[in-house]
Structure 1
Amino acid sequence: MTDGAATIGDQLVSSLADLGCDHVFTLPSANVDPLLKCLASSQTTPVLVANEMSAGFMADGYARITGTPGAALVGGGIASLYVLPALVNARVEGVPVLLMTGDVPEDFYKDVPFQSARHDGTRSDATFREALGPECCFKFGTALKDMPTVAKRLGAGKPVYVSVPYDVQGEPDITPRDKEPEAQSGLERDDLLAVQRVAGRLRTARHPIVVLGPRMAHVLGKDALVEQLIQCGMRVATSIGALGLVRHDADGYLGVFGYSGADTARHAILDPACDMILYLGGRPGQRDGAGWSKRLSEQPDLLARIDTLGSAPLELPTFADLAPQDFSDAIDALLVELSRQSPDEPSGPSQGHRRTEHHPADLMEHCIAQTQTHFGSELVAFVDAGLHRGAAIRAWRSTGQNDFHMSAEQAPMGWAIAASIGASFGQRDTRILCITGDGCMHLLGQEIATAARYQSPVLFLVANNGGLGSISRRAQTEDEAQALADRTRVDWVAFAGTLGVQGATAQDAESLQSALEQASAATGPFLIDLRLPAETRQGKIDPRAIFLGA
């Protein structure tokens, strides 16, 4: 404080509370000392992390599970660049992550050490402006007049970067207080008309399919829309990033479409009877082994999409491709239009292709299924990059309550380790399952120390096959696989113990069940080192030989 006036730091921290950020993930640094002091004396709780990249991923996980922005605070220079992958990931997937960094004093821009210099040796936010777009990058001087715009960007599902020079963090905020905050604009007229046109087509189609994409996971009105779609008799599929939004046994649910998805969804989309496909918050992926893109290319009146502003353009013909300023407003408008439908009005039937039960044929699938069966519906999963991704997609049985999270489009290694910890601060009474692998643990495994520090209820299920499975499967020869993918097998239980986390090793169904019972009794984090044979990396082992005694 200066003469009793609220400082820039005080007001910035107060703004976090207004955004719904109850926690800020941070790694202390000298050039954010004034902000940290304001944070320590506020109602917003600082969470100390092991490295800056994890701070960004934790804010990502927090945002996904709470529906409010996730905030990270780190130093400038190299420290801020460590968070850049998390912000790029958030931009691609439409997650509202707020990164705040310190900056050197405004009059200290010349002849300064590298750590206090620009990313190119002087000082600039050019890196973030290039990565996120200039409209999402802000520098707060002696006023926070841009805070309403920051809130609006976050509300639209965009990550935001804010830097605050060290010498003004403790200075009074001179933002005029007599101005009303910037109004949140509704849907533009042209966008509303486009949504109405899509809804009208959806109501009259006989065999429509609605595919929920990854950015639907961050829309507050998603549950009501999914319920309305099912009530209307629509058939619904999800991408892998939206898997947790529909109950796995819901009427009309076709399963996952795309990577490691269900044959039922693929066959339904290829069925000539299908007369409309609506993609919400995503786009058809690039992995096309079934010819669905050929069909979409030949029928330009079949596909429609509503997605976030700045989403990648489709290379397929559509009869409507809408990217409004506010994606959530578009989803709300679609819900209103579908709700106008009379109960007696015919709608797209849910009959036709029915999803069949999947029988796990992969060892990791058995482990995930056994884990979910043990803990039941209370479990929320965060899934990392690696071979276990496909196993998790096939094995998970969703409750439809936002219980499955994945960085679907970027898949940075180690994301789930940090994101699951961040999510635990958003729902402290929920057990979080982190499905990860030994490769990811090599990258961000040290972050489980943060889970130990705060006694976060996270169960880390580590697929430990002694190497990089995805690399092994792409290798042309055994020698190539050994040279590129093999790693020394780490005892992750011993590693976890050094960081204050309890753990157990599992190598068959019986030992996994014992480990799960120990995890149930643990009050904080727990790690299960799932010792998988190296042959699982090439898919050369029948899981029944280990887990079913066949």
Structure 2
Amino acid sequence: MTQKKTIGEVLVDLLERRGVDTIFGIPGVHTVEMYRGLERSSIRHITPRHEISAGFMADGYARASGKPGVCLLITGPGLTNAISAMAQARADSIPMLIISGVNPVATHGQELGHLHELPDQIGMMRSIALFTQTVHSGGDLEPVLDRAFAAMTAGRPGPVHIEIPLDVMSEIVAVPKPRVVQVSRRLPLPEDIARAADILKEAKRPILLVGGGAVAAESSVQTLAEQLDAPVVTTINGRGILGGHPLEVPASPSLAPVREMLADADVVLAIGTQFGPTDYDLNCDGGLPALQKVIRVDVDPLQATRGALPDLTVIGDASAALTAITAEIETPKDCDGVARAKSARTAALTSLGPAYQTGVALIKSIGDALPGCLLVGDSTQLVYAGNCYADIAKPRGWFNSSVGYGSLGYGPPAAIGASLAQPDAPVVCITGDGGFQFCLSELGTAMDENTPVIFLVWNNGGYQEIESYMVSADVAPIGVTPTPPDFVTLAAAYGMGAETITDIADLVPAIKRAHALGQPYLIDFKTP
């Protein structure tokens, strides 16, 4: 006998079959039917204090786990609150599935004043999501989910959206029979692999540029880099790929010494990198040099046309492409790669000002104190320093919102999501006192879920970077000194341990104390 359930219950079944183990959302009248099946499922539901935080938690979960982050949101304000999180995910190519309710089908476009009504909810989503579709009946649900997962993960990842009308989600339908659900990644063409290998065989000074699109291809990157004896420059989202390796250059391509090395290279192999300004022109000086010969490896043919136009494009999964290229290069090369990488590392670090050098040293000390930790950041000075230079121990160990879409208030909820994805890894959230005030209430979520995130507040009493920029532009610094609260007292109100420090020498001991507790903890570092 065929089992029957509501569409909301079947939705939960189908998500389980696709490996979803965590959902972020705030229930409401417009999503109750979609919650009906959660109690009997293995999926963990996390309740943030705001829907934008649900999106940021899903983002952090996805970055730390490599799996899509999933949100369940009400129609109207629940969905619009999450738009910034979706935009951040799109900018950084993060797989995120947003499932929302929507008012009954017959009301769409009528603007009759129904609760949470939007003139055209799905039309709004088309400008942000890689894919969006309405489920009009029970028979639509599984095919729409298949399309959403394919759009979210088969090519360049990003946010997708599904909406289910109130009068559809309670419909009784037959439970689909189990089947193998697999989303395949595109494989590169053999002729493109052969052409790339021929070019790299002749290279005398090859360099690898590695971005976030290669975060799951660490071993393939390392094997090819060693075969080519090529320095590996990692972008912000690529940090941790080859962490600590003699060929690694964990420095921004916006820095002059890295640019000089790129200009000298006769072949640049760019893997999963966008060539966007926040990685390659951080100071907006237009100084990225012309590259002699460029091979781009990207899973998305459209993305490969943005930024630096290549001499050769290899379209396909990064790991598969690099493995195939390595197989074509049978003899290891001697291109002085280790010496070139060391020279670039030293010069890049030296090129930073004293404040940023201090920040780089502090990030290293945190990593040394907490081996295998994840450092999740907001837009704040310490994060900016690390984006310029930070040798991170492992892939997925460094990410933040200060580039790409650049959302404030990202760090704390994303760190909670990352901790849920990697519960055995230490997680440190680096946030400024200004950005933290966007999402202070998520301390409550951390306590509810007992995610042992260490919240490090870089407290300089306002938006210091913006203030400095305004002064340098001869603009009166207005609106840059929002008064921070007493963070320690606030943490105590949520039952969270906390302390204040004022000396940089006290930071690592405080980090170690916090980690030893195994609970959420806040360190308010009042900087000079």
- TM-score tier by shorter-chain length is 0.7 to 0.9
Q: Distance in 1 between matches of 2:182 and 2:516?
A: 50
Answering whether residue 388 of structure 2 is matched by residue 400 of structure 1, we say: no
Contact 2:20 2:43 in 1 (8 A): yes
What displacement does 1:422 show?
A: 0.5
**Runs of 5+ unmatched residues, structure 2:** none
- Structure 2 length normalisation: TM-score? 0.88
Matching residue of 2:222: 226
Counterpart selection for 1:461 from 456, 460, 473: 456
Counterpart selection for 2:236 from 228, 236, 240: 240
Relative distance call for 1:56 and 1:223 in structure 2 (3 A) is farther
Secondary structure of 2:431's partner?
strand
Matching residue of 1:430: 425
What displacement does 1:111 show?
A: 5.7
Matching residue of 1:173: 173
Q: Deviations over 1:508-535 (max 9, x none)?
A: 14443442243023221111111012xx
Matching residue of 2:337: 350
1:90-129 alignment runs, 5 A limit: 90-109=89-108, 110=110, 112-118=112-118, 120=119, 123-129=120-126
Q: Deviations over 1:134-173 (max 9, x none)?
A: xx11212222222222222222223210111122223233
Matching residue of 1:314: 306
Q: Deviations over 1:186-243 (max 9, x none)?
A: 4375xx53344223322331211111123333xx334333343234422110112211
Contact 1:76 1:116 in 2 (8 A): yes
Secondary structure of 1:488's partner?
coil
Q: Distance in 1 between matches of 2:515 and 2:329?
A: 46
What displacement does 1:489 show?
A: 3.6
Q: Distance in 1 between matches of 2:381 and 2:276?
A: 18
What displacement does 1:364 show?
A: 4.0
Q: Distance in 1 between matches of 2:248 and 2:181?
A: 42
Contact 1:195 1:330 in 2 (8 A): no
Secondary structure of 1:445's partner?
coil
- Letter of the aligned partner of 1:253 in structure 2? E
Q: Distance in 1 between matches of 2:71 and 2:462?
A: 32
Q: Distance in 1 between matches of 2:462 and 2:476?
A: 9
Matching residue of 1:281: 272
Contact 1:213 1:282 in 2 (8 A): yes
Matching residue of 1:473: 468
Relative distance call for 1:185 and 1:530 in structure 2 (3 A) is closer
Contact 1:20 1:69 in 2 (8 A): no
What displacement does 1:74 show?
A: 0.7
- Letter of the aligned partner of 1:97 in structure 2? M
Secondary structure of 1:31's partner?
coil
Q: Distance in 1 between matches of 2:126 and 2:236?
A: 30
Contact 1:19 1:69 in 2 (8 A): no
Q: Distance in 2 between matches of 1:529 and 1:516?
A: 11
Answering whether residue 155 of structure 2 is matched by residue 150 of structure 1, we say: no
Q: Distance in 1 between matches of 2:260 and 2:486?
A: 43
Matching residue of 1:333: 321
Relative distance call for 1:338 and 1:63 in structure 2 (3 A) is same
Secondary structure of 1:256's partner?
coil
Contact 1:368 1:395 in 2 (8 A): no
Contact 1:211 1:280 in 2 (8 A): yes
1:198-277 alignment runs, 5 A limit: 198-217=196-215, 220-248=216-244, 250-259=245-254, 261=255, 264-271=257-264, 274-277=265-268
Q: Distance in 1 between matches of 2:455 and 2:411?
A: 10
Contact 1:382 1:433 in 2 (8 A): yes
Q: Deviations over 1:349-399 (max 9, x none)?
A: 414423345478325445434433322x13111121132222223563321
Relative distance call for 1:102 and 1:481 in structure 2 (3 A) is same
Secondary structure of 2:70's partner?
strand
Contact 2:252 2:389 in 1 (8 A): no
- Letter of the aligned partner of 1:31 in structure 2? H
* Greater alpha carbon shift after TM alignment, 483-492 vs 87-96: 483-492
Write out the 4+ residue segments of structure 1 that deviate beyond 6 Å after TM superposition.
Answer: 288-291
Contact 2:430 2:456 in 1 (8 A): yes
Relative distance call for 1:367 and 1:330 in structure 2 (3 A) is closer
Relative distance call for 1:295 and 1:13 in structure 2 (3 A) is same
Contact 2:187 2:320 in 1 (8 A): no
- Structure 1 length normalisation: TM-score? 0.84
What displacement does 1:282 show?
A: 1.6
Q: Distance in 1 between matches of 2:19 and 2:414?
A: 18
Matching residue of 2:485: 490
Secondary structure of 1:132's partner?
coil
Relative distance call for 1:175 and 1:187 in structure 2 (3 A) is farther
What displacement does 1:46 show?
A: 0.5
Answering whether residue 11 of structure 2 is matched by residue 18 of structure 1, we say: no
Secondary structure of 2:243's partner?
coil
What displacement does 1:254 show?
A: 2.2
Secondary structure of 1:244's partner?
coil
What displacement does 1:87 show?
A: 1.3
Matching residue of 2:8: 9
Give the percent of matched residue pairs that are identical in Structure 1 and Structure 2: 24
Answering whether residue 383 of structure 2 is matched by residue 385 of structure 1, we say: no
Relative distance call for 1:432 and 1:69 in structure 2 (3 A) is same
Matching residue of 1:540: none
- Letter of the aligned partner of 2:310 in structure 1? T
* Greater alpha carbon shift after TM alignment, 277-286 vs 105-114: 105-114
Contact 1:204 1:346 in 2 (8 A): no
Q: Distance in 2 between matches of 1:45 and 1:167?
A: 26
What displacement does 1:436 show?
A: 1.0
Contact 1:24 1:44 in 2 (8 A): yes
User: Over aligned residues, Cα RMSD in angstroms?
Assistant: 2.9
Relative distance call for 1:277 and 1:74 in structure 2 (3 A) is same
Contact 1:205 1:347 in 2 (8 A): no
**Runs of 5+ unmatched residues, structure 1:** 534-550
Matching residue of 1:34: 33
- Letter of the aligned partner of 1:128 in structure 2? M
Answering whether residue 134 of structure 2 is matched by residue 139 of structure 1, we say: yes
- Letter of the aligned partner of 1:206 in structure 2? K
What displacement does 1:417 show?
A: 1.3
* Greater alpha carbon shift after TM alignment, 89-98 vs 356-365: 356-365
Q: Distance in 2 between matches of 1:116 and 1:402?
A: 37
